[in-house]
Amino acid sequence: MIIALIIIIAYLLGSIPSGLIVGKAGYGIDIREHGSGNLGGTNTFRTLGVKAGLIVTLSDILKGTAAASVPLWFGSEFHPLLAGIFAVIGHMFPVFAKFKGGKAVATSGGVLLFYAPVLFITMLAFFFILLLLTKYVSLSSMLSGLYAVVFSIVLGDVWLIAITCVMTFFVIYRHRANISRIRNGTEPKVRFGKKAV
């Protein structure tokens, strides 16, 4: 019963549509009707600018962190990474937004922030280095996921290896269209100092 409750809470936390809330409450805009139509941070940056994008990204990270901590609320031995996975699923398929959510990047990072903060910090640095070099948010996100898998293998944490593999699969799968656009040379690049991303 406790495990089921943990899973439900984690999923509901992940389902909180940060991009939709910020867009409608702060700007009167449904970001699903703009840009890529995605509820994640990148589309929020594109649609509403840096401030809104940062708020949404941070919110999506923190809901992953909160979800991973849920087992502690109940004194349960249910693994925090498993709870985190259900938050990531909630982020991708949110019950509060007709099951059309984000691409799993920020919420996955939030789960890792709770369980392996050193991995999260180094992965974040890796992401920004790649972003500066490639100008592609999508490519930087996918390669950062692969970095997390390699880091986990080096640590030798079986749970972390398994969950980072699952998260990275989610991230790459959710970026299928981006991969095609990168190949075609039509994927939007970051324009630093501009509103659009």
pLDDT tens, position by position, 24-64: 998 999 998 888 778 888 889 888 999 999 999 999 999 99
Q: What is the pLDDT of residue 192?
A: 67
Q: What is the pLDDT of residue 197?
A: 37
Q: What is the pLDDT of residue 7?
A: 98
3-state SS string over the chain? CHHHHHHHHHHHHHHCCHHHHHHHHHHCCCHHHCCCCCCCHHHHHHHHCHHHHHHHHHHHHHHHHHHHHHHHHCCCCCCHHHHHHHHHHHHHCCHHHCCCCCCCHHHHHHHHHHHCHHHHHHHHHHHHHHHHHHCCHHHHHHHHHHHHHHHHHHHCCHHHHHHHHHHHHHHHHHCHHHHHHHHHCCCCCCCCCCCCC
Q: What is the pLDDT of residue 191?
A: 79
Q: What is the pLDDT of residue 148?
A: 98
Give the pLDDT confidence of 176-195 residue by residue, as tens digits.
Answer: 999 999 999 999 888 765 44
Q: What is the pLDDT of residue 196?
A: 39
Q: What is the pLDDT of residue 47?
A: 87
Tell me what the mean pLDDT of segment 104-130 comes to.
Answer: 97
Q: What is the pLDDT of residue 193?
A: 56
Side-chain half-sphere exposure of 175, counting CA atoms within 13 A:
24
Asked whether the predicted pLDDT for residue 76 surpasses 90, the reply is yes
Q: What is the pLDDT of residue 34?
A: 87
